[in-house]
Amino acid sequence: MHFCTCSSISGVKVSLIFSANTGIIVLRTSGLAFYRKSRASRFLSRPESPSRNYIQVEVKNDQKAQPGQKLALVIKVTEMIRFCNYKVFSKGSLVTQGRLRMRNRKQQDQNLKITYAMIPQAKFLIYYVRRQNGEVVADAITFPIEDIFNNKVSINFNTRRAKPGDDVQVELTADPNSLVNVLAVDKSVLLLKSGNDITTQNVLNELQRYDNSGFFSRSSWDFWLPRPVYGRDAFSIFNGAGVYVLTDALLYQYIPPPRLSAVSFSNGRVRGPFGQAGPGGIGGGSGGGSLAVPTRTRKNFPETWLWVNSTTGVTSAEHYLLRK
């Protein structure tokens, strides 16, 4: 049993015996009346491996990944090896790959150079092949990239207030030879909430659609934390990383033993564990009214009074004169 005093986030290391197959971690809080009855639990199961050898990769101190910087990683193994292989995937494509030296150690620190090709999130897959039985031992993690835009764009005005008929100078800064689109609209158009504006979130959602193994939302408070690719065996690790493998090595896939489903007999008929859905049970329900049909559709938008397309020059800055 472990006790700790914390006011926000606290990390606790739990050690399990090597021969354990399953385990459960239960967390209870005490102190303030509001949190006194809080409880959380997590069930753990041992990964499956014919040789019972494993490899684990984690981000050191939960460091945030930023383009242009190196991400500190910790590689742990259960047997001494000379090297292991790694691959980095992003948006469904292979970004980089290589080999890491382990120097016959069971733990080794490594650094990974983060690039803009890895945005908005990357999967780091690490593995090695045992010489004794040809078994593939693997692990993988997913980590988001904090900065997703390589081209830094800024916009400035020469004045904060202007009257109708005044000239307003706009200075827009971007990388050289960047295509710049300037749009000016009246604020009343925002009432329509059309959702056609290009925002950071829209760009992020579009980039995440190319990931063939799923992604996690950035709306949660812990989105920046690296997360493991869950899998009980090496096959599921590769599958969770979005990788299909063709090999003559032993890529172990655990097949759980079949379980008998709970059935009952009623009046000579076999009845499943959830019975039969009655009328109006699942997927039913009638609405409580309908939306009003608009009498006309607005097609003319005179408030959109400026649309300029240009390309920045060598100085990476463009100036525009706005007048209305």
CA distance to 157, 244, 279, 315, per residue, from 47 (Å)? 59, 20, 43, 56
272: tokens are 């499943």
CB-based contact 37:118 (threshold 8 Å): no
- For residue 245, pLDDT beyond 60: yes
Q: What is the pLDDT of residue 307?
A: 62
**What is the tens place of the pLDDT at every residue in 118-139?**
988 899 999 999 999 999 999 9
Q: What's the CATH number for 52-148+216-240?
A: 2.60.40.1930
pLDDT band at 191 (very low <50, low <70, confident <90, very high): low
**What is the tens place of the pLDDT at every residue in 275-294?**
444 444 334 444 455 666 66
| Domain locations in the chain as residue ranges | 52-148+216-240, 154-210+301-323
- For residue 107, pLDDT beyond 90: yes
- Residue 257's SS3 state is coil
- For residue 264, pLDDT beyond 60: no
CB-based contact 95:113 (threshold 8 Å): no
**What is the tens place of the pLDDT at every residue in 19-51?**
677 777 777 766 655 555 677 777 777 788 999
Q: What is the pLDDT of residue 300?
A: 65
